[in-house]
Each structure stands twice: as C-alpha cells, then as structure tokens.
Amino acid sequence: MLRLANFIDGQFQPPVAGQYLPLIEPATGQVYGEVPDSEAVDVAAAIAAAEHAFPAWSALPAPARSAHLMRVAETIHARAEELAQAESRDNGKPLSLARRVDIPRAEDNFRFFAHAITQFHSEAYDMGPQGFNYTLRRPLGVVGLISPWNLPLYLFTWKIAPALAAGNTAVAKPSEITPATAALLGDICREAGLPAGVLNIVHGRGPAVGEAIVTAPAVKAVSFTGSTAVGRRISELATPTFKKLSLEMGGKNANLVFADAPYEEALATSVRAAFTNQGQICLCGSRILVEQPLYERFVEDFVARTRALKVGDPLAEDTDIGAIVSEAQWQKDQQYLEIARAEGGSIRCGGQVPPPVNARCAGGYFLEPTVITGLGPQCRVNQEEIFGPVVSIYPFADEEEGLAFANSTPYGLSATLWTSDLRRAHRVAARLEAGIVWINSWMVRDLRTPFGGMKQSGVGREGGMEALRFFTEAKNVFVAG
C-alpha cells in the first residue's frame, strides 16, 4: 500500500509520532494508501530546514533561482502522466481533465515565475540635489503555504513558485484529502536538483499542521487558499503576530445572462462553468441569473445539456463528471439538495446518486449534475457555497435587479456576464462585487494579472508581479545628495 512521507530538508521522512491518515480513492470509496498525520514537531523540523536553506537560496542571483524553477517545470513536464494519474486517483476528477488542465498548469506556474523573477524590479526616484530614493525588495525568509483539495497541484504550485522565485524558502502543506501530487512534487524537486530545505512539504490535518505553520514566529508570511471559515481562523491566529497574510477563500459566483447574450456560447460555457471538476472549482458559476425574456428557453436548454453530461469512472475517456472528492463533501452536496427541496425549489434534473457507473466504482461518491429552479436570491442554496455539481437558475427583470441579485451574497470571488451590448458589459463589470469578472467567457486569464476575491472571498492578490510583491518586503532607502 502507498505510504506517503513528509519532504523535509531534501529527504522523505516519516512523521515523528508515526501516525497516519487513510487515503481514500473517491471513485471507489476504498483506502489505497496513507498520509502522515503530522504534528507540530514535524513542522518545527521543516521550519528549521527552511531557515537553514534561506541564506544561500536568497543570495542566489535571480537568474540562478530562475534556472532552478525552470528545471522543476521541465521535470513536471517529463512526469506529467504519472502526476495526472495520481491526481485523478486521489481527487476523483476525470483523468482527461487532470491531463488537460491541472498538470500543464502546474508546469506553467513554475515556468511563469521563473521568467517573472528575471523581470521583477523596484522603483528608484531621482530627487535632484536633495538625493536619491529607491526601494529594495528583499525576500521575507521562511513562508507558509497552505492549499486545498480541489485543484491540488495547480494551487499548490501557484504559491510555491512565486515564493521560491522571490528568494524565500517554504514550508508547504497540501490538503490531507489530496496529498498525492504534492508528495510527487517533493520527488520532482529532488530530481530537478533544488537545494535541500528550499521547499519542505508537511502532510497532515489543518488544526495540527496548518496552525503550527500559521503560529510559528519564524514563518514570516502565510499564503492560504481554502474555505472562508478556515481563512477566518487563520486570520485570527496570525493577526496578533503581524505576519503578512494572503487569503483566497470561498465563492458563490454569479453567471449573469442578459437577453441579448450570444446564446449558444452563453449556454455551452455556462454548463462548463457549472460542472467542470464536479462543480468543485472556486470559480464555478453556481448561481445562474437569466434575464426574464430568455429565462424559460435557457432553463430548458440548460437542463437538456446537463442531462447529456456523462457521470462515469474518472479513468474513462468519455467521462464528464467524475467522483465527488470525499464522503463528507458528497454528503454535504446531498444535504443541500434536501435544503433546496425544503426551501421550495424544484429539481429540474439530477439530484440523485446514480447507479454504479461500473463494478470498480460501486462504492464511489457519485452524484448526478443537478439543476434547481424556483429559489430566490436569499435562499440558502443561493447564499451558501455548496462546492459540488449543484446549480440554481433564477430570473431577473432588468440590469439593476440582475446586479443586485449578483451582489447579494457575502462572497465576491468571480462573476461572468453574457451580453452583446458593449457599454453594458463594461458598466456591469465595474459594478459587480467580484475580484474577477469574465465578459462572454469563463476561466480565461493572463497569469500576469492579479487574482483574488472581494468581500469574504479574499484578502490580498495572487498572480503576476502581485505575488512577487507579496513574497518580498519593500525597504525604502534614501541617500542624501
């Protein structure tokens, strides 16, 4: 049976206390391995290794760090199939999706920041006879990186690459539910020749490992992606220490379809935005708001397209909807179906656990993609993040009402709007309370742009130069003339 280990100081090490958690394959419901259930003592060893590695790593010129990151990217590329298989197995997502999106993106993250660090610069101001004022940007030291289960390697590397590029060393914690690709990344870093201690990976549960990282005085910044509830807890723990914090949290994203939308594109992309990765992407459009004149037609066509999606074994090439990541999340999704019924919603398709997709997957966590109508904007189903293949569609009367409905949740991660009216597109985009707005598109982004949410979806921004700024301290130096 597969037994994962922590990656500390360039070595794979068992947890000091020898405790493990089971690794469950969501498609089968079977245990296929175990992952360290680490404790504060393991985190302390990782921090010590990172502190030891910091002086040499941070002293390397940017092109040398860039070359290291590029070698990691190349090694991910060479081992892409192994990573995709591991990711599909421990996450339940279709293997085709892991091959097409998650693993190439992890490679891109390293490539992107390998390039970005060679272009990163700080300001200098000539003040004439008075003097000269410039900004030094220096790495912070040891940083803590905590990531969720939904895009395990994609989001893990989105933090690791800029942290290392900027000259920091890191203690990183993947989700205990999906740790397999993170464990492979340790091996990849070793193969790529990354110096020992620059990246340390500690597996385990949030309250034990995550909180030990967040509260350690030696950890100068924490970058977290996950739920709003855990983000709040991290914020409470970290605030008294004044360490830098970046929090990327939950969402309840609106997909606003105006009557003049480019219909076929809006329909096809809305279905994709609803159900990709079983609806378990923080950017999924789970609230679909349709302008009244188009509403009935849109619902009918959306339901027909949803019915055509194939729920299946993640390993099958023609599977659209794989397994839900865990039994707990599977049950949560089903509880929301009960809530929808209790709130008076009508389940237009899906809503059931399907018959076994094949013999191998008989014990797996599958759920039909579900479309709910008849619930108003204040219903729990339209206010709370479900994070599964469950969407709600409701109508709006005009632009003002559409905007009010879209902005009516505590979240503000992303929003999509569909219209052929150029002026309205810009007007509505500016008023949507969301950190990312897509006009007539979804999930397209230049990695140079800042990424993050508003309201309870995020604090701080990741991506591009913003990430390099987060992972450095600006020092203002003035030289008298």
- Catalytically active residues, by annotation: 248, 282
Question: Which residue, 91 or 419, is less far from ligand NAD as judged by CB?
Answer: 91
Which one of 261, 282, 288, 294 is in contact with ligand NAD (CB under 6 A)? Answer: 282
Question: Which residue, 5 or 459, is less far from ligand NAD as judged by CB?
Answer: 459
Which one of 97, 185, 249, 290 is in contact with ligand NAD (CB under 6 A)? Answer: 249
Distance CA 437, CA 444 (A): 10
Nearest to 346 by CA among 367, 370, 366, 330: 370
Nearest to 204 by CA among 24, 449, 36, 377: 36
Beta carbon of residue 384, minimum distance to ligand NAD (angstroms, whole number): 10
274 binds ligand NAD (CB under 6 A): no
Two tokens at 228?
């709003």
Cβ-contact 459, 415 below 8 angstroms: no
Which positions ≥6 away from 382 have C-beta within 8 Å?
252, 287, 375, 376, 392, 394, 409
Which one of 65, 68, 173, 469 is in contact with ligand NAD (CB under 6 A)? Answer: 173
37 binds ligand NAD (CB under 6 A): no
Cβ-contact 438, 101 below 8 angstroms: no
Stretch that binds ligand NAD, among 105-113, 190-198, 350-358, 451-459 (CB under 6 A): 451-459
Question: Which residue, 150 or 306, is less far from ligand NAD as judged by CB?
Answer: 150
Q: Which of residues 120-159 bind ligand NAD (CB under 6 A)?
A: 146-150, 155
226 binds ligand NAD (CB under 6 A): yes
92 binds ligand NAD (CB under 6 A): no
User: Quick one: DSSP state of residue 311?
Assistant: B
Distance CA 387, CA 286 (A): 8
Which one of 89, 93, 159, 233 is in contact with ligand NAD (CB under 6 A)? Answer: 233
Which one of 27, 72, 73, 214 is in contact with ligand NAD (CB under 6 A)? Answer: 214
Question: Which residue, 350 or 458, is less far from ligand NAD as judged by CB?
Answer: 458
Stretch that binds ligand NAD, among 41-49, 168-176, 290-298, 299-307 (CB under 6 A): 168-176
Nearest to 149 by CA among 190, 171, 180, 122: 180
Which region, left, alpha or beta, applies to residue 440 given φ > 0 means left and ψ of -120 to 50 means alpha? left
Two tokens at 334?
């089903």
Cβ-contact 424, 402 below 8 angstroms: no
Residue 448: half-sphere exposure toward Cβ, Cα within 13 Å = 5
Question: Which residue, 88 or 456, is less far from ligand NAD as judged by CB?
Answer: 456
Q: Name the residues that contact ligand NAD, by CB under 6 A.
A: 146-150, 155, 173, 175-176, 205-207, 210-211, 214, 225-227, 230, 233-234, 248-251, 282, 385, 387, 413, 453, 457-458
